[in-house]
Amino acid sequence: MSKQPNILFIMADDHASKAISCYGAGINQTPNIDRIANEGMRFDHCYVTNSICTPSRAAILTGTYNHVNGVSTLDTPIDNRLPNVAKHLRTGGYQTAIVGKWHLGEGKASEPTGFDYWSVLPGQGDYFDPLMIEMGQEVEVPGYATDIITDKSIEWLDKRDPSKPFFLMCHHKAPHREWEPHPKNRSLYQDDIDIPETFDDDYKNRAKAAAEAKMRIKDDMTYADLGLVQPEGGAEVGERATVHSPRRKIPNPRDVSKLRLIDKDTGEIFTFRTSEELSRFKYQRYLKRYLRTIHSIDESVGRVLDYLDEHGLADNTLVIYTSDQGFFLGEHGWFDKRFMYEESFQMPFVARFPNEIEQGRVCKNVVCNVDFAATFLDAAGLTIPSYMQGKSFRSLLNGTETEHWPDIAYHRYWMHRDRDHNAYSHYGIRNQRYKLIYWYNEGYDLPGTNHGGEDREWELFDCEKDPLELFNVYANTEYQQVVADMKSLLNKKMAEIGDEPEH
Ligand code: CA
């Protein structure tokens, strides 16, 4: 029997595939993440089952959907008595560790379990000098979060028992809002970044959820998001920089020429002639700060890959780079996630495992975050427990897949009209060609968010003919057979995983 492989799972927070150069958008360079894809495999259709942090992490850890693991919103912590993939790997002979973002709840009942070593950020964590909870003890660690998470990961690898295989979850905080780059990277990306063609979307031909969401770069970005401060005496007049309320949204006044925005680090003052100019400024500032935080992650990935090379571990280690969900980078005018629209639904996923994966392959099959746990256990040669709902895709990784792969992804977002983003609840299904979304518009045990399911709507997108998802063809005569087929697929999937439809 061959030696059990090591598993190194590197996950960022809110990293859209568009901001990884091997995915081809051309807005930045990530040579180290690309190296994983070039020496292994890139997945173009990996999807999240609920496009927000906490539920995605729960699905990854437990291999179950959120209505089963109970972590359906940002306010539903994990019950750490649940079985998870780390527990199974540990029982199967692995040394296990998690370093970095946890975000599955705080306190004893939801701290990490199944890990021989854990050092995690409480809540969202801080970019600079973060507090960490290390094996139950609070420690303040000086430095930049991405560097610290990398250092601690490498330190753990160094101290581990080399006679056993390892499972390490290295979870970066970056590039999560509020996008604070390392000071040495603050001047990267001087040239303007291309604006997506849907930046000025009018949200016509879509369910009303799109127009109602408060995730617009133009209207909903805060001072803190963009590293700006207000002049003293209010947002529009005055000279001296102060930080009155950094989480306040930057205003978009009728007379934009009165607006003064000040860089919180350099003191540089920005003025605007038109609101169009202001909204383009916000876009550039957002994207550049976001990409600068990713620059540090890419360097970190390089350091860890070098460590594997230097210690002769590369061949027998399955290395993965992914993100807990995708993110809008100006498409439809948005930042943030939550929606089943492609930019936030798709997770980047690249994997390298020289002993099993042929170099430079691209996988077009549909896989989901719920499948990760089963895949790790399969790669480790361990039994996949029957409670896990995901399916191992090891056969896609090693090219032995001969059955008909299901190619179906199910998404459900529960936090109807949450206070900050006003995103509507929905569920739906995607196969390789079509996407069906049901906006059932009802809250889920969230105080003050239950608005009663008014104005329910359906959307169908033809992902081949309309990759930007601008035309809901649900009511089009020529798509009625597709609608019926997709509804049947949705019903079948919901029955299979035991989720309750809304009527
Ligand atoms: Ca996230």
Ligand 1 centre distance from Cα of residue 171 (Å):
11
Ligand 1 centre distance from Cα of residue 53 (Å):
4
In this structure, the strands spanning 131-134 and 117-121 are antiparallel
Ligand 1 centre distance from Cα of residue 101 (Å):
10
| Predicted model pTM | 0.96
Q: Provide the 8-state DSSP code for 330.
A: S
Ligand 1 centre distance from Cα of residue 274 (Å):
33
Q: What residue has token string 């490498």?
A: 154
Ligand 1 centre distance from Cα of residue 72 (Å):
14
pLDDT for 251 equals: 87
Residue 498's closest CA among 369, 339, 346, 370? 370
pLDDT for 448 equals: 53
Instruction: Give backbone dihedrals phi and psi of 374, rounded to 5 degrees, phi first.
Output: -60, -35
Ligand 1 centre distance from Cα of residue 15 (Å):
8
Ligand 1 centre distance from Cα of residue 36 (Å):
22
Q: What residue has token string 């309309």?
A: 466
Ligand 1 centre distance from Cα of residue 241 (Å):
31
Ligand 1 centre distance from Cα of residue 340 (Å):
14
Ligand 1 centre distance from Cα of residue 14 (Å):
4
Ligand 1 centre distance from Cα of residue 176 (Å):
7
pLDDT for 452 equals: 58
pLDDT for 231 equals: 75
The C-alpha atoms of residue 355 and residue 380 are separated, in whole angstroms, by: 13
Ligand 1 centre distance from Cα of residue 124 (Å):
9
The C-alpha atoms of residue 342 and residue 47 are separated, in whole angstroms, by: 9
Ligand 1 centre distance from Cα of residue 13 (Å):
4
User: For residue 74, which amino acid is it?
Assistant: L
In this structure, the strands spanning 426-430 and 409-413 are antiparallel
pLDDT for 443 equals: 79
Beta bridge partners of 42: 350, 362
The C-alpha atoms of residue 340 and residue 473 are separated, in whole angstroms, by: 16
Answer yes or no: are the C-beta atoms of 480 and 372 closer than 8 Å. no
Residue 457 structure tokens: 């709507």
The C-alpha atoms of residue 482 and residue 499 are separated, in whole angstroms, by: 22
Superfamily of chain region 6-182+288-410: Alkaline Phosphatase, subunit A (3.40.720.10)
Ligand 1 centre distance from Cα of residue 339 (Å):
13
Cα dihedral 357/359/360/362 (nearest 10) = -20
Residue 474 structure tokens: 């649900």
Ligand 1 centre distance from Cα of residue 178 (Å):
12
The DSSP H or E segment spanning 286 is: helix 275-310
Ligand 1 centre distance from Cα of residue 259 (Å):
32
Q: What residue has token string 């090891």?
A: 394
pLDDT for 1 equals: 46
Answer yes or no: are the C-beta atoms of 72 and 55 closer than 8 Å. yes
pLDDT for 453 equals: 58
Ligand 1 centre distance from Cα of residue 175 (Å):
9
Ligand 1 centre distance from Cα of residue 329 (Å):
14
Apex 108 CA angle, 103 and 110, nearest 5: 35
Would you write out the chain's pLDDT as a tens digit for each of its 503 residues? 469 999 999 999 999 999 999 999 999 999 999 999 999 999 999 999 999 999 999 999 999 999 999 999 999 999 999 999 999 999 999 999 999 999 999 999 999 999 999 999 999 999 999 999 999 999 999 999 999 999 999 999 999 999 999 999 999 999 999 999 999 999 999 999 999 999 999 999 999 999 999 999 999 999 999 999 977 655 444 444 555 678 899 988 889 998 999 999 999 999 999 999 999 999 999 999 999 999 999 999 999 999 999 999 999 999 999 999 999 999 999 999 999 999 999 999 999 999 999 999 999 999 999 999 999 999 999 999 999 999 999 999 999 987 789 999 999 999 999 989 999 999 999 999 999 999 999 876 555 555 555 689 999 999 999 999 999 999 999 999 999 999 999 999 999 999 999 87
pLDDT for 253 equals: 84
Instruction: Give backbone dihedrals phi and psi of 290, rounded to 5 degrees, phi first.
Output: -60, -50
The C-alpha atoms of residue 330 and residue 288 are separated, in whole angstroms, by: 12
Ligand 1 centre distance from Cα of residue 215 (Å):
15
pLDDT for 129 equals: 98
Can you list the positions of beta strands (E) in 122-248? 131-134, 137-140, 166-171, 228-231, 241-242
Ligand 1 centre distance from Cα of residue 152 (Å):
21
